[in-house]
Amino acid sequence: MKIGFIGLGNMGAPMAANLAAAGHQVVGFDTAAPMPQGVTQATTAAEAASGADVVITMLPNGQILRAVAAEVIPAMRQGAILCDCSTVDVDSARAVASDAAAAGLGAVDAPVSGGIGGAQGGTLTFMVGGADADFATVQPLFDIMGQKAVHCGDAGAGQAAKICNNMILGVTMIATCEAFALADKLGLDRQKMFDVVSTSSGYSWSMNAYCPAPGVGPKSPADNDYTPGFAAELMLKDLNLAHQAADSARADTPMGQLARDLYERFVEDEDGRGRDFSAMLPRFVKRNG
């Protein structure tokens, strides 16, 4: 396929490079980032989108997505598909899909899970909203960039799934960090705690796959001084999206709200900005109840 790729930051660049390495013709645009290997540079987003079979966007927020969509949709050929892999609010995802449909285009919202490592290794999970036919067209690209793509429903369903997933992740990471800090104060060895919890009812992805305690469990950002795999400010962004969605849907999410408040304090008032979201552990260790 001919692919336009807009947004070539830490996530978008390796995703685009993987598509190019698989033999697709990829034309990229970014306001600041350099082009990854195999990707041809365009001078505007509209130029990257022109003539493409699929246009992929990986952008910071819904406002920027709406602005980019307004630029690229008129430049896209009839029948092409706009595939947004950003994590944005559900309303923006649905608005962009509606604008694309009005212009005779397909559209899918396809936020990802797996972080920078997953983007580099082609092991991302895609949560996809949109029409069956559009999903089927883009699925071969998901297979290159990731290990799994789940069609979650109509427009916006991919963003809804991502928001719900990351609300769980934020809550469970905080609980995991709190438990390690409590174990320290009770004199319980961290490795022993991991050995018990990782094989019993406290099992979670935060504990078993992304343990926040250095030297315990599989290698994680905790073993690299909490250099971000998934930055705390990105977790805060996702928890804010969950809070916004809960307000819109009149859903009661007290744990999600508390996690949002804690990450906001960690990022804005403490030393969390620029650190991995699992750096909540040293935060709790140095605090007293």
Active site (catalytic) residues: 162
CA distances from 169 to 51, 162, 165, 179, 204 (A): 39, 10, 6, 15, 9
The neighbour count for residue 187, using CB atoms within 10 Å, is 6
Please provide residue 26's backbone torsions phi and psi, each rounded to the nearest 5 degrees. -115, 125
Which two structure tokens, joined as six digits, stand for 137? 């067209």
**Taking Cα atoms as reference points, which of 155, 158, 97 lies closest to residue 127?**
158
Distance CA 264, CA 259 (A): 8
CA distances from 198 to 167, 192, 214 (A): 21, 10, 15
Beta strands in 67-201 (DSSP E): 81-84, 106-109, 112-113, 124-130, 146-153
How would you class 219 by CB atoms within 10 Å of its CB: exposed for 0-12, middle for 13-18, buried for 19 or more?
exposed
Q: Residue 40 pairs with which residues in a beta bridge?
A: 27
CA distances from 179 to 11, 185, 189 (A): 31, 10, 12
